[in-house]
Amino acid sequence: MRKTVIAGNWKMNMTPKAAGEFIHALAPMVKGKDKCDVVLCVPFVDIAVAAEAAKGTNIKIGAQNVHFEAKGAFTGEIAADMLLEAGAEYVIIGHSERRQYFGETDETVNLRTKAALAAGLKVILCLGEVKEQRLSGITDEVVAMQTKLDLAGISEEQLKNVIIAYEPVWAIGTGLTATPEQADETCGVIRKTVAAIYSKKAADEITIQYGGSMNDGNAAELLAKANVDGGLIGGASLKTDKFTAIVDAANA
Ligand code: PGA
């Protein structure tokens, strides 16, 4: 009913040369594994090289952020049409590292998401609770609120180009993974929220990924859960064999 998407988030890793070599090595390893979409979200300067290397393969390229204005005096920012022309099809928005270290708020995440969708990019929208929120028992409220704020003003038609990545912040880069039950439950809360904002159809169709220390060892049980439609993978996306093993788990 909905597409499984396995996406790598390289974060601030890999030069353009390394990106090209990685994709040439990965392409034959994931070839024909069509039960999921395979995406790599790479640093801005890697996009053109990565897109060229991915031509004729089933690997799609994404960026890790986009600004909400079309152009102008925004030193250090990147516009959606620049990403598209460089060869990006996807963009990650609202990653917890952007929220934590670079002052992103639900408001800027919403603006960036609207701009990206209007320009024709597909969005991987990240949200999730921090450790204290999970321990206080308010995870459901937090993710429901983020879902509502981040998607404000986005139409049901536009939502077809949105993937939501549920990423508990305490699980990112820590080696701690949500249990499959926790991932399923919280992805389910997000899906219910989408149903409440839009419709049951929209909720049934939207891809909701889990992210946070997903790796070759735990991917199969996480992906087996009904509400988990893929993964957003940081550390394990930097190694062709580990990333391929996750793609394999999604194709089993
Ligand atoms: P991780 O990162 O897999 O290294 O925990 C996931 C993410 O930040 O998207």
Spell out the per-residue pLDDT of the chain, length 252, in tens: 799 999 999 999 999 999 999 999 999 999 999 999 999 999 999 999 999 999 999 999 999 999 999 999 999 999 999 999 999 999 999 999 999 999 999 999 999 999 999 999 999 999 999 999 999 999 999 999 999 999 999 999 999 999 999 999 999 988 889 999 999 999 999 999 999 999 999 999 999 999 999 999 999 999 999 999 999 999 999 999 999 999 999 999
Pocket probe for ligand 1: among 5, 6, 9, 169, the residue whose CB has the most ligand atoms within 8 Å is 9
Q: Where are the domains of the chain?
A: 4-251
Calculate the CA dihedral of residues 129, 1, 62, 195 and round it to 10 degrees: -40
Contact 41, 238 (CB under 8 A): no
The CATH number of the structural domain formed by 4-251 is 3.20.20.70
* Pairing assessment for the beta strands 36-41 and 4-9 based on DSSP bridges: parallel
Tokens in use for 68?
A: 């909400």
Q: Looking at residue 83, what is its pLDDT?
A: 98
Contact 30, 38 (CB under 8 A): yes
Asked if 95 is an active-site residue, the reply is yes
Residue 105 Rama label (left phi>0; alpha psi -120 to 50; beta): beta
Give the residues surrounding ligand 1 with Cβ less than 6 Å away: 9, 167, 172-173, 211-214, 232-236
For residue 211, the CA-to-ligand 1 centroid distance in Å is: 6
For residue 234, the CA-to-ligand 1 centroid distance in Å is: 4
Contact 52, 24 (CB under 8 A): no
Q: Looking at residue 2, what is its pLDDT?
A: 93
For residue 8, the CA-to-ligand 1 centroid distance in Å is: 8
Task: Find, among 185, 247, 170, 182, the residue nearest to 216 by Cα.
Answer: 247
Q: Given the residues 97, 104, 129, 167, select the one marked as catalytic.
A: 167
Full-prediction pTM beyond 0.95? yes
Interior CA angle at 8 toward 76 and 69, to 5°?
Answer: 30
Distances (CA, A) of 169 to 4, 40, 139, 216: 22, 21, 11, 20
Q: Looking at residue 52, what is its pLDDT?
A: 98
Contact 95, 9 (CB under 8 A): yes
Q: Given the residues 67, 95, 97, 129, select the one marked as catalytic.
A: 95
Question: What atom of ligand 1 comes closest to residue 171's alpha carbon?
Answer: 5
Q: Looking at residue 128, what is its pLDDT?
A: 98
